[in-house]
């Protein structure tokens, strides 16, 4: 599995992936990183740094259905990648019970209280999760 900055992927490859997976090309252009396996794009994610140093939001995450079994591995790659960026905490939002189970299995913590930092950015139903790195 390889993570590539979206700006380093040709527009032709992004357009083909978007068309095949019925994704708006604008979403891919906003994505920070493209996920590639065996020379083929299988997904993308956006990891946005929030106002405070070391605080990130896993804003978008997508993997093609045929590669869904690699989602836990991809999330672990993302956690390692963020550690390399000196992340202290990553927040993620989930609207699906299966995503809740996955995040919980990777030691994300359910956020009981609302997260003020996201109130202006997101108005969604579902659950907020956090992953805090040990110092």
pLDDT tens digits for range 86-100: 999 999 988 888 889
- Cα separation, 21 vs 125, in Å, equals 25
Which domains are seen in the chain, by residue range? Answer: 2-132 (3.40.630.30)
With CA atoms as reference, report the closest residue to 43 among 19, 58, 63: 63
Q: What is the pLDDT of residue 56?
A: 92
Whether the CB-CB separation of 42 and 62 falls below 8 Å is answered with no
The yes-or-no verdict on residue 116 having pLDDT over 70 is no
The yes-or-no verdict on residue 120 having pLDDT over 90 is no
Lowest mean pLDDT among 14-18, 29-33, 51-55: 29-33
* pTM of the model as a whole: 0.84
The yes-or-no verdict on residue 117 having pLDDT over 70 is no
């Amino acid at each position: 599995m390889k993570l590539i900055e979206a700006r380093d992927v040709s527009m032709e490859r992004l357009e083909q992936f978007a068309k095949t997976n019925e994704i708006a090309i604008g979403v891919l252009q906003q994505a920070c990183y493209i996920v590639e396996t065996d020379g083929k794009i299988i997904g993308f994610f956006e990891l946005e740094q929030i106002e405070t140093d070391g605080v990130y939001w896993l804003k978008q995450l997508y993997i093609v259905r045929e590669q869904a079994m690699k989602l836990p591995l991809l999330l672990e790659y993302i956690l390692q990648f963020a550690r390399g960026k000196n992340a202290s905490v990553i927040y993620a939002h989930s609207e699906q019970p299966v995503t809740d189970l996955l995040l919980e299995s990777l030691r994300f913590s359910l956020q009981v209280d609302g997260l003020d930092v996201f109130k202006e950015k997101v108005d969604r139903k579902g659950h907020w999760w956090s992953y805090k790195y040990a110092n």
